[in-house]
Structure 1
């Protein structure tokens, strides 16, 4: 029945540099099949040299543990480079629940929205 509760929409991942911040925007449903799109954008962020990366999940309506793995790897990469990674909402209930159930919310710097994340 759980599958009936969520309508999965195709994932779209874009990226841009805004005021020296590498911004990754995600919309749709992120799962095992679409996680490589996010992984590729995170690799570009890692190589960009920008002092901060913001991952905007405000338009993501689903994320699973595969996506969490990609975010955790990106967080480790940024930490090693002494750079900041911020995950921005507002989060869809399903995405928020992923952070809560896995106990990983405290591992990330979370922002209520992109403007706050861009502030630092």
Structure 2
């Protein structure tokens, strides 16, 4: 497994390649004022598998949800251990049914790859 470090920001704590996946670790508040760095990280990730670790997100609003929904159409976006606030947002809006959600990063990296990006 090859790991290449990327650049980090206040919201994007880390991003790196792990095997055939690009991992983005997000922390803090994810809202209109802070979503830009995550959008940039998702745009630069390419079109393959992107694993988004949301375990350290303290707050997420509709901006965050819209960002996730937009990029799930462009990449194979899978979520890891969404924090309680993110889980609540996904569940209340029904968006939890649209994503593959893993309990751990290890589980996400070990999961079989479909290679498909849904466009519904």
**Common topology (TM > 0.5):** yes
Equivalent in the alignment of 2:85: 94
Secondary structure at 2:27 match in 1 = strand
- Which protein has greater RCO, CA pairs closer than 8 Å, 6+ apart? 1
Instruction: Give TM-score, length-normalised by structure 2.
Output: 0.78
Trace 1:1-120 onto structure 2 (pairs within 5 A). 11-13=10-12, 14-45=14-45, 47=46, 49=47, 51-78=48-75, 84-89=76-81, 91-120=82-111
What is the DSSP-based 3-state SS (H/G/I as helix, E as strand, rest coil) of the residue aligned with 2:68?
helix
Q: Give 1:52 shift.
A: 1.4
Partners of 2:56 and 2:104 in 1: CA distance: 11
Contact 1:11/1:30 (8 A) holds in 2 = no
Aligned equivalents of 2:106, 2:62: Cα separation in 1: 26
- Aligned length, in residue pairs: 102
The answer to whether the Cα contact below 8 Å between 1:53 and 1:85 also exists between their aligned partners in 2 is yes
* Structure ranking higher in helix proportion: 1
CA distance in 2: counterparts of 1:63 and 1:115, whole angstroms: 24
TM-score between both structures, scaled by the size of structure 1 = 0.78
Structure 1, unmatched stretches of 5+, are: 1-9, 79-83
